[in-house]
A and B are shown apart, each in its own frame.
Chain A
């Protein structure tokens, strides 16, 4: 009897030990995830300080951080960031809103879909950036040309995903709506829009990423301010720390925007 008890305690202990071991391994993996970017930065710092990396092309991270700080203090940063964010925001809306409307119309009415689809398919592969010279001629070198460029790039993924979202709504919900005599208005707001929303938001997420890519390129050509302008002029003047600051800003805002859109997604789709 007692030996049995002892054996049980023993096996329980073994189990506990194994559990602790597993937990430690789990924590180890988390630590690795945090350490990896830090490791890269330290390696970079050491290599450019010891001259293994050419300091002219790869200034040490500490130098970049210093430049970053100086640019904040001098107000240069606020100016460029403000201008770019303004253009991204307006351009994004100017692409997303028509994208949603056209996409919904395409999804809901098949004659519209058959008419619009070939046009969308033909225009989509053309990079808006390739049209930049024409856009600058038409809309000038101010904010408007950048807004138009971004809107043009964001429009396509949103249109296609919205139309696909409507078309992919399970047919049984259409039957339910029709069986319960849903009016056109209610059908739109209770079935089509919420049903298409998940795929539509994926398209908007994609549009967000494209907007950032576009703004940098658009501001490199015919602009006098903005993050893209900062990167380009710093590069031309060989002010590489400043250029790296621009790259870090893009990376930061890309990450921030996807976090915001994820949060929005969770808020809008509690049923998923």
Chain B
């Protein structure tokens, strides 16, 4: 891993308190993500990957430990999150949704319009700009969510299974669109998925997580040259080996959690 560290997580622990006692969701998580790196967190459901992302997004407080997000200029928001399917606000039009982060920061209107137009165009949403989300397909809604996060121009992007609810064709299309926008902006991305294919296609590095309590158990570097296409990933024998490696790890974790 080269480049300056952008996200540094140090000894993070998170416990949830319930009626029956406390549950440790994350245990001693330490990781660094370099500037401009695309990192996927892969793990079985319930391994705390969403909790980790929510802590970085400022939506939860860690019980122990800390994290830092390196900043260069101080007029940029630290992070923006692309949420799972329902994150698009239904009472705002596509345009207002994309402009949401910028508007909340009270930036000049001309600037907001320019930036919004740019990302509407980039994500192919121009024609739908004045529609409300109810009129959009699932794939289009996630495009809105992605455009909103990129338009906000944060230091890092956090993505919580943004394509989880899409059908396979749409998923492939959006993955490639995401990669092309990412390649232009060179943002640092931390991306959650439970799809191994998705992780292999997108990542520079995959962090495998184990469950109960959630911890990082393995790191896999994906050095396949970019730009990548799904066909190339499927054809590459080295990637096939990596797929099986990850698959075995996840299976172990799932079996362990059944005991």
Contact = CB atoms under 8 A, between A and B. Distances in A.
A194 B57 contact: no
B87 A172 contact: yes
B80 A172 contact: no
A50 interface: no
B105 to A, nearest CB: 7
A172 B132 contact: no
Question: Which 3 residue pairs across A and B have the least CB separation, nearest first?
Answer: A271-B132, A194-B91, A180-B101
A197 B90 CA distance: 12
Interface of A: 170, 172-173, 175-183, 186, 190-191, 194-195, 197, 269-272
Chain B contact-residue range equals 20 to 34
Nearest to B145: A176
Contacts of A191: 89
Interface in B49-93: 57-59, 77, 79-81, 83-84, 86-87, 89-92
A181 B77 contact: yes
Given A172-B87, A175-B59, A180 B104 contact: yes
A173 B85 CA distance: 12
A178 B133 contact: no
Contacts of A270: 132
Contacts of A177: 104
Interface string B4-40: 0000000000000000000000000000000000000
Given A175-B83, A271-B133, A271-B134, A180 B91 contact: no
Nearest to B132: A271
Nearest to A177: B104
A31 B152 CA distance: 57
A181 B57 contact: no
Contact of A272 (B84, B100, B134, B152): B134
Contacts of B84: 172
A172 B90 CA distance: 11
A176 B87 contact: yes
Name the prevailing secondary structure of the B interface residues: loop
A175 B134 CA distance: 20
Name the prevailing secondary structure of the A interface residues: helix
A119 B115 CA distance: 50
Contact of A186 (B91, B104, B132, B152): B104
B80 A180 contact: yes
A194 B89 CA distance: 10
Contacts of B104: 177, 180-183, 186, 190
A183 B104 CA distance: 7
Contacts of B59: 175, 178-179
A46 to B, nearest CB: 51
Residue among B58, B89, B101 having the largest count of chain A Cβ atoms under 10 Å: B89
Given A186-B104, A271-B134, A179 B89 contact: no
Contacts of A190: 92, 104
A219 to B, nearest CB: 40
A176 B89 contact: yes
Contacts of B81: 175-176, 179
A243 to B, nearest CB: 46
29 contacts: A170-B86, A172-B86, A173-B89, A175-B81, A175-B83, A175-B87, A176-B81, A176-B83, A176-B100, A177-B104, A179-B79, A179-B80, A180-B77, A180-B80, A180-B100, A180-B152, A181-B77, A181-B104, A183-B104, A186-B103, A190-B92, A190-B104, A195-B91, A270-B132, A271-B90, A271-B91, A271-B132, A271-B133, A272-B134
A178 to B, nearest CB: 6
A178 B58 contact: yes
B61 to A, nearest CB: 13
Given A180-B77, A195-B91, 11 more contacts: A170-B86, A172-B86, A175-B81, A175-B87, A176-B87, A179-B58, A179-B80, A182-B104, A183-B104, A194-B91, A271-B133
Contacts of A178: 58-59
Contacts of A186: 103-104
Contacts of A195: 91
Contacts of A173: 89
A170 B83 CA distance: 13
